[in-house]
Amino acid sequence: MKSNFLSGLRSALLFITILPAGKDVAWSPMAMIRFFPVVGMILGGLLILADLLVSRLWAPPVAALLDVVFLLAVTGAFHMDGLGDAADGIFSHRPRERALEIMKDSRIGMMGLVAVGAVLALKLAGIYSLKTTLAPFQIIVLLLIVPAYSRASMIFGIRFLNYGRKGTGTGLDLFERAIGLKDFFYCLIPLLFSLFLGVRGLVLNLFFIIGLVLILGFYKKKMNCITGDMLGAMTEVMEALLFLGAGAAFN
């Protein structure tokens, strides 16, 4: 049991971050899915430390920007690359198979650039709003759990949509079998932490549910499938929406 736990966690760390996970990691693609929220919490913890440092040196706008850069750096821009590729394909207004081919092109097009720029701007605005309107404790909790929620969204994408490529692609190994309730277990961790936020935590969860429905519904209507790039895009869009929603002035 301990071996399976460590293997899944280390595989998840290697897959979606640049963080060290030790040597001779046994690649366990299906075992790592449930650990996506845990990796998100680790990223959130590191984000808190980075934010505490940069907030001592710079004003909130600069600190918020550096927080966004930190998230990009610690993930190797892995999800952001998927966002650019997915946007180029989905918004090419081509048939599904041609759109999937466009996603495989490593070159980024105009729609990819627009999508990446928009999501980065929304994320910056959201983090800035947190830092200028909320209490320190609320900021810490949100910086911790928003990366976890956004990476948990990938589990829902894997569960509710079929993989769009035949025998190839970054996300292929994540669809070897159907996933069940046990794969959602660690999603409870950010949910429990959100309870410390009171009403704002309820709003955060509402934004998460709405974001899931809208993104998965859009993918279903537009492509009727999902790919590794689309999972990455989902993560980035969800993270931006949650930071923006959590910072909304609804007091």
Residue 27 within a domain: no
Average pLDDT over residues 70-99: 95
Q: Which pLDDT band, with edges at 50, 70 and 90, does 249 fall under? A: low
- Is this prediction's pTM over 0.75? yes
Residue 1: the pLDDT is: 47
Per-residue model confidence as pLDDT tens digits over 187-238: 999 999 999 999 899 999 999 999 999 999 999 999 999 999 999 999 999 9
Residue 107: the pLDDT is: 87
Distance (Å, whole) CA 43 – CA 151: 10
Residue 87: the pLDDT is: 97
Residue 176: the pLDDT is: 87
Residue 169: the pLDDT is: 74
Residue 216 within a domain: yes
Residue 22: the pLDDT is: 78
HSE at residue 237, side-chain half, CA atoms within 13 A, is 25
Per-residue model confidence as pLDDT tens digits over 100-113: 999 998 889 999 99
Average pLDDT over residues 56-61: 96
Instruction: Please answer whether residues 122 and 244 qualify as being in contact, where contact means their C-beta atoms are separated by less than 8 angstroms.
Output: yes
Average pLDDT over residues 40-54: 98
pLDDT at 62 over 80: yes
- How many structural domains are present in the chain? 1
Distance (Å, whole) CA 83 – CA 154: 13
* Three-class SS state of 226: strand
First to last CA, the chain: 45
Average pLDDT over residues 235-244: 97
Distance (Å, whole) CA 100 – CA 88: 10
Residue range of the domain that includes 68: 35-246
Q: Which pLDDT band, with edges at 50, 70 and 90, does 168 fall under? A: confident
93 torsion bin: left (phi>0), alpha (psi -120 to 50), beta (else)? left
DSSP state of 26: P
Q: Mean pLDDT in the chain?
A: 92
Residue 23 within a domain: no
Residue 32: the pLDDT is: 93
Average pLDDT over residues 119-147: 96
pLDDT at 92 over 50: yes
Residue 143: the pLDDT is: 98
Average pLDDT over residues 143-172: 92
DSSP string, 70-114: HHHHHTTTHHHHHHHHHHHHHTT---HHHHHHHHH-SS--HHHHH
Residue 1 within a domain: no
Q: Which pLDDT band, with edges at 50, 70 and 90, does 58 fall under? A: very high
Average pLDDT over residues 122-134: 95
Residue 212's alpha-carbon distances to 17, 141, 169, 215, in angstroms, are 22, 21, 23, 5
Supply 231's token pair.
């999972």
Q: Which pLDDT band, with edges at 50, 70 and 90, does 239 fall under? A: very high
Residue 217 within a domain: yes
pLDDT at 2 over 70: no
